Amino acid sequence: MTNTVAIGIQWGDEGKGKIVDLLAPKMDVVARFQGGPNAGHTLVIGEQKTVLNHIPSGILHDNILSLIGNGTVVDPFRLVEELDMLLEAGIPVEQRLKISDRCQLILPYHRALDAAREAAKGKGKIGTTGRGIGPCYEDKTARRGIRLVDLNASNLDERLDEHLKYVNFMLVEFLGAKAVSKAEVMVALDLARERLLPLVADIPLILHQHIQAGSNILYEGAQGSMLDVDHGTYPFVTSSNTVAGAALAGLGVGPKDVDEVLGICKAYTTRVGAGPFPTELYNADGMCDAKNAGKHMAEKGQEFGATTGRPRRTGWFDAMVVQHAVRINGVTGLAITKLDVLDGLEEVKLCVGYSYQGERLLSIPADCAVLDACEPIYETLQGWSENTFGLTDITQLPAAASVLLQRIEEVCGCNITMLSTGPDREHICHLSSINT
Ligand code: IMP
């Protein structure tokens, strides 16, 4: 039995979808534990490309049970769209998917608040995905959220009236936005009642039974460790814990029920939205390095958000970020993705430390202003002109690419166990370490 947590360990978009898709066939259960429709995983079904936001990536396999845990926030409109899209593609999703009755619902006022708050912040905005994630988690923590199980509560109408008074006061009086009507909210609630309630289940019980039976379970994370509300670049983070530990609370399993933690990261770094990014080279606001390496990464890596289509900021691999992630998640193996994007660069750089006011920092500072002022300390390595696209055997890697990967292992203190060299399932090398 191997129960594995698979998480992103940069700022999201590390290529988790592909890695989870590769691991899924060995699994009996794939369970999502946090986030919501801010995540986007592109799947290709037949000729059609489609983006899943809530549903775990195991859903395409007929012998895998897909679970959405209590740590996840669910938008009924978007989740029902996903269900319908899969049903149309002939996937019996309703037989393969169970949702925790404890999941919080993202309702129209959450999206309205997300948009109004971002607009009010102007230049200081977080750059959220606009999916209502923050306001929904805020209601959860404030103990006024509506969960799937509450759809049958006798006092739901009263609670909603009370909550709408507060929400509309915030929207209209405080943020100068439009009020949300009860009718709009009722449409979402009715849809959830009709389409989602039939899928609810006691997820900890199901997982416990699988654990007892020796099943293989994949705990699937969303976003990345640097977007974690506690350990990331606060306040430029998402509103949930994205670290491996969140798999426990977000599904209802114990620490002994996890065997491995796979940390997924690109061979370079990207970020969408605002916030510090010490190794940034390139962004849509006009930042560009002299050798155009950042632009090369953005273009060759097709760095646009799967959920919002926003261009991503790009920069060199930051080993400070990955070291931090290895520590806070207990990462047991690294999956490095998009190595091929670096093909053709004359030189590649690895950030191995930060200098702040003349001092070398040993870890990621909690204060964003300090992180913003940090200068990356780089090791410059030789690039390679050979094509690594689609390589499946690490012995065929150009020597310079092997050197980069060896340094990543050494500096981050963790072995690379998977290396992805292209978008397809076949474009992968499995290894125990680049050094063996
Ligand atoms: P929110 O999760 O929509 O509140 O957005 C908060 C921050 O997290 C913003 O910088 C988003 O761009 C970022 N973010 C949220 N979800 C993802 C994701 O799946 N990939 C990358 N960035 C994300």
Nearest residue (CA) to ligand 1, atom 12: 273
pLDDT at 377 over 90: yes
Report the nearest-CA residue for atom 9 of ligand 1: 128
Q: Write the single-letter amino acid at 68.
A: I
pLDDT tens sequence across 262-297: 999 999 999 999 999 999 999 999 999 999 999 999
pLDDT of res. 7 = 98
CA of 312 to the centre of ligand 1 (A): 11
pLDDT, residue 21, reads 87
Give residue 436's pLDDT: 64
Ligand 1 atom closest to 38 (CA): 16
Among candidate residues 87, 127, 162, the one with its CA nearest the CA of residue 284: 127
> Given the CA of residue 273, which atom of ligand 1 is nearest to it?
10
- Which residue has its alpha carbon closest to ligand 1 atom 10? 273
Q: Is pLDDT of 321 > 90?
A: yes
- Please count the other Cβ atoms lying within 10 Å of the Cβ belonging to residue 63: 9
Query: Ligand 1 centre from 433 Cα, in Å?
Result: 31
**Can you tell me which atom of ligand 1 is nearest the CA of 272?**
12
Sign of the alpha-carbon dihedral angle for 220, 222, 225, 231: negative
What is the pLDDT confidence band of residue 306, given thresholds at 50, 70 and 90? Answer: confident
- Residue 71 Cα to ligand 1 midpoint, Å, equals 16
Task: Give the residue, by CA position, lying nearest to ligand 1 atom 20.
Answer: 12
pLDDT of residue 434: 78
Q: Which residue CA neighbors atom 2 of ligand 1 most closely?
A: 238
With contact defined as beta carbons under 8 Å apart, do 408 and 416 qualify?
yes
pLDDT more than 70, % of the chain: 99
Residue 7 CA: distances (Å) to CA of 10, 102, 272, 289, 401: 9, 22, 17, 30, 24
**Ligand 1 neighbours by CB, cut-off 6 Å:** 11-13, 38-39, 126-129, 131, 133-134, 222-223, 227, 236, 238-239, 272-273
- The per-residue pLDDT of the chain, averaged, comes to 95
**% residues pLDDT > 90 (the chain):** 89
- Domain architecture of the chain: domains with CATH: 3-100+202-261 (3.40.440.10), 104-195 (1.10.300.10), 264-430 (3.90.170.10)
Residue environment code for 252-284, b if the CB has 16+ CB neighbours within 10 A, otherwise e: bbeeebbebbbbbbbbbbbbbbbbbbbbbbbbe
Structure tokens at 95: 């037989």
Residues with active-site annotation: 13, 41
Quote the DSSP letter at residue 158.
H
- Specify the pLDDT at position 56: 93
Distance 82 CA to ligand 1 centre (A): 20
pLDDT at 46 over 80: no
When pLDDT is averaged across residues 354-372 and rounded to a whole number, the result is 97
Closest Cα to residue 381, out of 264, 285, 293? 293
> How many angstroms is it from 431 CA to the middle of ligand 1?
31
Tens-place pLDDT, residues 182-205: 999 999 999 999 999 999 999 999
d(CA 210, CA 216): 8
pLDDT of res. 181: 98
Measure Cα distances from 390 to 3, 88, 327, 387, 425 in Å.
Answer: 28, 32, 31, 9, 10
Kindly indicate the confidence band of residue 1, based on its pLDDT and cuts at 50, 70 and 90: low
